[in-house]
């Protein structure tokens, strides 16, 4: 006896399904080759959302999902992209190959897509266990089997028209948790606020460090200028003293020669002092340029840290919503 005669069978996809514990699927066997197996997680809520790995004698693939458990990509055992998936608000799929080209249907026969549920491309509907859902209309085709316990006002609505954050793996009632969503969004806003504060502190610290650098460097440049000027003045005074000594020893030297000697000493001092002043001005310009470059580099680093922190906030929001 064929195994398919003993298992729930889907004629539209030619697959027999092996359930475990009621609605949780643990394997799906191709009705032709009987070699392709789809395994989900035993005893895990992830099984309700179709987080599965597919294995055949030739290859093993792995499903990757977002916070709604919608399959966004399938990779091979080597990590290469096999297919990517994008969805409209209510799950109408767009299938892309590894190069990004659009496919008419899955080349690897993947059925699990939006919120982890099975897509029937022939009829353009999703199988949500208890009911079928049309992504074009964003509504179930059948009444909710549990009546108004699933929705307060509409027996056909899909997650009360909150498809971006809601899921309904059983087709009975949407698994959205308003309190959890509010908490996730509050934590997300707090995370972004903390990111802004962290960036502002980083920029403020960069500006403060740049000011300290300018102050300390300018003080050192001024010290060097004063020292250069002191040495030039010392050289001037020494030269003038030598002029006076020569004048005292040699009357032939004369007053005119003495004044000329002193003038040469002052000219040398003036040149040395001017050189020191120019060096000081050049040092100030270099200090200002270095401080600006330092501050700009730090501000850029602050911006990069800010973007990284925001990315972390996004990841934390996805993980928080996923817990719902």
pLDDT digits (tens, 9 = 90+) for 189-218: 899 999 999 988 888 888 888 888 888 888
pLDDT at 134: 94
Inform me whether the pLDDT recorded for 7 exceeds 90: no
pLDDT at 28: 61
Inform me whether the pLDDT recorded for 100 exceeds 80: yes
pLDDT at 257: 76
Measured between alpha carbons, how far is residue 311 from residues 69, 85, 175, 199 in Å?
A: 20, 22, 26, 14
pLDDT at 54: 52
Global pTM?
A: 0.47
pLDDT at 34: 46
Beta strands in the chain (DSSP E): 9-10, 15-20, 24-30, 37-39, 53-55, 60-65, 71-76, 81-87, 93-97, 102-103, 118-120, 125-127, 132-134, 139-140
pLDDT at 82: 93
Residue predicted with more confidence, 153 or 179: 153
Q: Kindly indicate the confidence band of residue 83, based on its pLDDT and cuts at 50, 70 and 90.
A: very high
pLDDT at 136: 92
Q: Are 162 and 174 in contact (CB under 8 A)?
A: yes
pLDDT at 240: 81
Most confident stretch, 106-110, 233-237, 287-291: 106-110
Express each pLDDT in 257-309 by its tens digit. 777 888 888 888 888 888 888 888 888 888 888 888 888 888 888 888 888 98
pLDDT at 184: 79
What's 166's DSSP letter?
Answer: -
Express each pLDDT in 9-60 by its tens digit. 444 444 545 444 445 555 565 554 444 444 433 333 343 333 444 555 456 7
Non-local (6+) Cβ contacts of 159 within 8 A are 165, 166, 167, 168, 174, 175, 176
C-alpha dihedral, 202 to 208 to 210 to 214, nearest 10°: 180
The per-residue pLDDT of the chain, averaged, comes to 77
Q: Chain-centre distance of CA 10, in angstroms?
A: 42
Percent composition of the chain: helix, strand, coil (DSSP 3-state, to 5) = 50, 20, 30
Q: Is the dihedral of CA 112, 113, 115, 119 positive or negative?
A: negative
Inform me whether the pLDDT recorded for 72 exceeds 60: yes
Q: How far apart are CA 119 and CA 236, in angstroms?
A: 96
If phi over 0 gives left and psi between -120 and 50 gives alpha, with beta otherwise, what is residue 299? Answer: alpha
pLDDT at 154: 82
Concatenating the DSSP letter of every residue in 28-63 gives EEETTTS--EEE--TT-GGGGGT--EEE-SS-EEEE
Of all residues in the chain, what percent carry a pLDDT higher than 90?
15
Q: Of 44-48, 103-107, 228-232, 310-314, which gets the smallest average pLDDT?
A: 44-48
Inform me whether the pLDDT recorded for 75 exceeds 80: yes
Non-local (6+) Cβ contacts of 123 within 8 A are 12
pLDDT at 9: 41
β-pair partners for 134: 139
Q: b or e along 51-80 (b: 16 or more beta carbons within 10 Å of the residue's beta carbon)?
A: bbebbeeeeebebebebbbbbbbbbeeeee
C-alpha dihedral, 7 to 147 to 169 to 89, nearest 10°: 130
Q: How far apart are CA 36 and CA 60, in angstroms?
A: 10
Q: Are 228 and 272 in contact (CB under 8 A)?
A: yes
Q: How far apart are CA 34 and CA 132, in angstroms?
A: 27
Inform me whether the pLDDT recorded for 108 exceeds 70: yes
């Amino acid at each position: 006896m064929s195994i398919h005669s003993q298992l729930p069978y889907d004629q539209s996809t030619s697959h027999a399904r092996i359930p475990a514990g009621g609605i949780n699927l643990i394997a799906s066997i191709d009705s032709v080759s009987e070699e392709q197996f789809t395994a989900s997680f035993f005893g895990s809520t992830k099984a309700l959302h179709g987080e599965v790995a597919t294995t055949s004698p030739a290859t093993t693939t792995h499903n990757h999902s977002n916070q709604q458990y919608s399959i966004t990509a399938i990779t091979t055992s080597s990590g290469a992209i096999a297919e990517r998936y994008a969805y409209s608000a209510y799950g109408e799929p767009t299938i892309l190959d590894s190069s990004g080209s659009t496919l008419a249907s899955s080349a690897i026969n993947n059925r699990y897509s939006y919120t982890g549920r099975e897509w029937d491309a022939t009829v353009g509907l999703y199988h949500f266990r208890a009911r079928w859902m049309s992504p074009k209309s964003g509504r179930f085709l059948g009444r909710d089997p549990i009546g108004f316990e699933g929705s307060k006002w509409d027996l056909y609505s899909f997650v009360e028209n909150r498809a971006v954050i809601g899921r309904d793996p059983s087709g009975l009632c949407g698994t959205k948790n308003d309190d959890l969503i509010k908490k996730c969004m509050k934590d997300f806003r707090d995370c972004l606020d903390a990111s802004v504060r962290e960036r502002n502190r980083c920029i403020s610290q960069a500006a403060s460090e740049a000011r300290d650098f300018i102050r300390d460097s300018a003080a050192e440049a001024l010290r060097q200028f004063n020292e250069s000027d002191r040495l030039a003045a010392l050289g001037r005074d020494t030269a003038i003293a030598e002029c006076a000594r020569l004048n005292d020893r040699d009357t032939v030297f004369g007053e005119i020669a003495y004044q000329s000697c002193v003038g040469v000493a002052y000219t040398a001092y003036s040149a040395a002092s001017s050189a020191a002043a120019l060096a000081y001005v050049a040092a100030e310009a270099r200090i200002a340029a270095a401080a600006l470059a330092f501050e700009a580099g730090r501000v850029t680093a602050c911006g990069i840290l800010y973007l990284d922190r925001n990315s972390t906030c996004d990841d934390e929001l996805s993980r928080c919503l996923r817990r719902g």
